[in-house]
Structure 1
Amino acid sequence: MRKKHLVSAGAFLVALGALFIPIEGKAPAATGPIAKAGALDLSAYSSARPDAPLDLLFIHHSTGGQLLTDPGPEKEKASCVYEAHPNGGGLRRKLTEQGYRVHEASYGSEIGENTDLFDWAPKFRDKMDKVLRVSLNDQTLPDGAVNRIVVFKSCYPNNRFVGEGAAPGNPAGPELTVWNAKATLASLLPELAKRKDTLFVYVTAPGNIQKRSKDPAWKWAAKRVLGKPSEAEIGQRQADLARVFNNWIKSPDGWLSAYPGKNVVVFDYYDVLTNRGESNFSLHGSEGNTDNHPSREGNEKAADEFVPFLNQAVRRAGLSM
């Protein structure tokens, strides 16, 4: 009799799962709010190349290295500093053509090792002088030379929010809530304000792709019965919170609303990769949109938008006529 009951319960869960599991195991369509937010208007400034060469440092890990390099078979100069990669966006070459001298810091170096959201405030507070002198990882620029532009970004795990959290948030985290993330970026601004002769470009973290659930039907159905969210629901919630956070970063009423300087700007890489609000997930994942690293197409699209944006930001910051 007990065995019969177990079989019946199992059959019930499978049947229940059949009501909810998407066809062919695909994740459900995005259902969260896809709110758009305005960004800082730079249209009053020319997008032409600067009138003199400028040293630029990009602090990144794998996605930033792939955005910078040219497309081709993977070839590294250093950890996540590529000479070529299949996902290459060509940004380094495009910037060089505009007169920028591009430098990089990535894995394994003092400045490039830690690039999560909660790392930026202590990094710029304690190591700013070293940041401005980086040539390649732990190598430094010649005496007297400094980076006039610092581009910095976190990677896609920094868009996997566990919840909204509570105001005003903890700038040290460590829990990745929206309010903690807001608090840590707010705590960064006083450090950037000390270097008004340097342009800081915050690049929003790329979104995560929408993945198919790995849960078997019975496990998915069991979660429904117990009131637990499925993998797809967790992913959707993270994506919706990522949209809220990244909208806040770039909005004139958000992160920089009370910042008086002109030396901090935001390039919304997240928005580019989500096709400007078509989804809250990245629509440009690599490997046929099965890998969170942006594809060549997504990176080339971002690179094309980044160059004129940077030229305008450089003029707004007073680094070029």
Structure 2
Amino acid sequence: MNTKKSLSRIITILIVVIFFLSGAVPTLAAPVSAPLYADDPTPPAQTVKLIFIHHSTGENWLADGYGNLGITLEQNNYFVSGTNYGWGPNAIGDRTDIPNWTEWFRSGDTETYMNALFNESGQNSSYTRNLTDPGGENEIIVFKSCFPNSALEGSPTDPPSPDGWLTVGHAKYVYNEILQYFASRPDKLFIVITAPPLQDGTYAENARAFNEWLMNDWLTENGYTLPNVAVFDFYNVLTGPDNHHRYINGAIEHVFTAGMNTSYYPSSPADDHPNAAGSQKATNEFVSLLNIFYNRWRGSTTSIFTDVPSTYWAASYIERLYNAGITSGCSTSPMMYCPLAPVTRAQMAIFILRGMHGSAYIPPTATGTIFGDVPADAFAAAWIEQFANEGITSGCGGGNYCPDANVTRAQMAIFLLKGEHGASYVPPVATGIFTDVPVGSFAADWIEQLANEGITSGCGDGNYCPDADVTRDQMAVFLVRAFSLP
């Protein structure tokens, strides 16, 4: 029998017995899916940049002599920065209620906010920070809402709803929405801190139910498997001395006593801010979990690119593309591939010519006379002109090449097969194997031949999605298969 699992079960049984004898009834949260590797609570070996989005509760939690979170994180090799009231573009730092997270992570301004957030190195509150800034962007994004967000109206079992404000249903909707941004940034680790509890028990049952949903159901209901999102149940830790979310005796424990859904650690009867004792308890339980979350995330990435988890569907193809010398990624510090970014026509010329001629190939110097929108000093000009000289492209019309336009999956079929078989290649006539690619439609012959050669199986449900942009992860698969890269 597995020793760790046995110990965890013994601990659970003892907790139940102790609470039973004391007259309380404990509730053990449903376990999060176990990782495929042992949890590691050791701090990072090198300094890691972390930023905390918070207001006053977070400020107290960070403060020396109050929550001691800032100095404890530093002792664990985290360089900690933060936001606070008034921070950022459009003073987005003012808005940290649950419904505001869609503005941060799921709006037309998201890229502006994230650029500022990833590059923020200021403290914006007081706590000890002696570590030297290691440079680069913040890798870990910790964010929380304050205690008013535990006054969620509605019913505990309400489903996600786009309507409402501070309701159970709308809170679920918000977290489902922002998960889509997190999925697009596997190079960042996002830590959700649940909102602290209130002393008023009016909506306490709703708050407990919502936070249990975040802990146990949020990611699984969305089929989310990337290791770059984790939840710390700050709420639960603050509802009683025997309520915990921590790493202990080799296992993660998430336990609470039934009925204890209000604040056990208020600053005063008139103030719901967690007091120093509660904040320090939260620090003691959070930091080892953060180390585990970090090590899960970092341990799951490929040996080459920090934004490509080893479990990512195209990970092996991306690594093969790199090993073949076709790409060095989209960033070198840190090494990133940007798997979900679309491929432009300029990038495509480089990819295919290297696939055809090998990683050492260098095209002739550009003349700037072939395409009106590709001067000799433009990015990839030499590659684009050689692409035309080899008869793989004649441009996008009007004497232009459209180097910054994204490549569609239909266009890619033509470019790949011409690169593989030569400019004079003509594929067999299509028979209509994809539902969304009727015979006679643009590039139908090429698309079907791409499938017949085993280079693609489509985009699912019998379709090919000919008008969709080719992303860099898809491009890796296309290239490796078309040119039989090792």
Taking structure 2 as the reference length, the TM-score comes to 0.47
Shift of 1:174: 3.9
Instruction: Report SS of the residue matched to 1:305.
Output: helix
Q: Could you tell me whether the CA contact under 8 Å between 1:51 and 1:320 is conserved in 2?
A: no
Distance change in 2, residues 1:136/1:60 (3 Å)? same
Shift of 1:137: 6.8
Deviations 1:77-123, CA, capped at 9 Å, x for gaps: xxxxxxxxxxx110100000111000010101124221010111221
Is 1:169 the equivalent of 2:169?
Answer: no
One-letter code of the match for 2:120? V
Q: Could you tell me whether the CA contact under 8 Å between 1:121 and 1:191 is conserved in 2?
A: no
One-letter code of the match for 1:98? N
One-letter code of the match for 2:116? K
Instruction: Report SS of the residue matched to 2:50.
Output: strand
Give the share of equivalent positions with the same residue, in percent.
Answer: 37
Cα distance in 2 between the residues matched to 1:44 and 1:292: 38
Number of residue-to-residue matches in the alignment: 242
Tell me which structure has the larger Cα radius of gyration: 2
Q: Could you tell me whether the CA contact under 8 Å between 1:185 and 1:255 is conserved in 2?
A: no
One-letter code of the match for 1:204? T
Q: Could you tell me whether the CA contact under 8 Å between 1:272 and 1:301 is conserved in 2?
A: yes
Residue aligning to 1:264: 229
Is 1:38 the equivalent of 2:24?
Answer: no
Q: Could you tell me whether the CA contact under 8 Å between 1:248 and 1:255 is conserved in 2?
A: no
Cα distance in 1 between the residues matched to 2:227 and 2:271: 36
Q: How does 1:157-306 map to 2 (within 5 A)?
A: 157-164=148-155, 167-170=159-162, 173-210=163-200, 235-236=201-202, 238-251=203-216, 253-257=217-221, 258-275=223-240, 276=243, 277-278=256-257, 279-287=260-268, 289-306=269-286
One-letter code of the match for 1:63? T
Cα distance in 2 between the residues matched to 1:304 and 1:152: 18
Residue aligning to 1:4: none
Distance change in 2, residues 1:123/1:273 (3 Å)? same
Q: Could you tell me whether the CA contact under 8 Å between 2:49 and 2:134 is conserved in 1?
A: no
Residue aligning to 1:123: 104
Shift of 1:175: 2.6
Q: How does 1:92-111 map to 2 (within 5 A)?
A: 92-110=70-88, 111=92
Structure 2 counterpart of 1:134, from 117, 120, 126: 120
Residue aligning to 1:315: 295
Q: Could you tell me whether the CA contact under 8 Å between 2:227 and 2:300 is conserved in 1?
A: no
Q: Could you tell me whether the CA contact under 8 Å between 1:49 and 1:98 is conserved in 2?
A: yes
Q: Could you tell me whether the CA contact under 8 Å between 2:265 and 2:277 is conserved in 1?
A: yes
Cα distance in 2 between the residues matched to 1:39 and 1:128: 32
Q: Could you tell me whether the CA contact under 8 Å between 1:161 and 1:242 is conserved in 2?
A: yes
Instruction: Report SS of the residue matched to 1:103.
Output: strand
Q: Could you tell me whether the CA contact under 8 Å between 1:250 and 1:268 is conserved in 2?
A: yes
Cα distance in 2 between the residues matched to 1:256 and 1:296: 34
Distance change in 2, residues 1:204/1:166 (3 Å)? closer
Q: Could you tell me whether the CA contact under 8 Å between 2:186 and 2:226 is conserved in 1?
A: yes
Cα distance in 1 between the residues matched to 2:299 and 2:218: 25
Deviations 1:184-218, CA, capped at 9 Å, x for gaps: 100000101111111100000000014xxxxxxxx
Distance change in 2, residues 1:192/1:128 (3 Å)? same
One-letter code of the match for 1:119? N
Distance change in 2, residues 1:49/1:240 (3 Å)? same
Shift of 1:136: 2.1
Q: Could you tell me whether the CA contact under 8 Å between 2:266 and 2:275 is conserved in 1?
A: yes
Q: 50-59 or 276-285: which moved more?
A: 276-285
Residue aligning to 2:144: 153
Cα distance in 2 between the residues matched to 1:104 and 1:39: 31
Cα distance in 1 between the residues matched to 2:158 and 2:235: 24
| Cα root mean square deviation, aligned | 2.6
Q: Could you tell me whether the CA contact under 8 Å between 2:69 and 2:283 is conserved in 1?
A: yes
Unaligned runs of 5+ in 1: 1-32, 72-87, 211-234
Cα distance in 1 between the residues matched to 2:262 and 2:158: 24
Unaligned runs of 5+ in 2: 1-24, 125-131, 244-255, 302-486
Instruction: Report SS of the residue matched to 2:121.
Output: strand
Residue aligning to 1:8: none
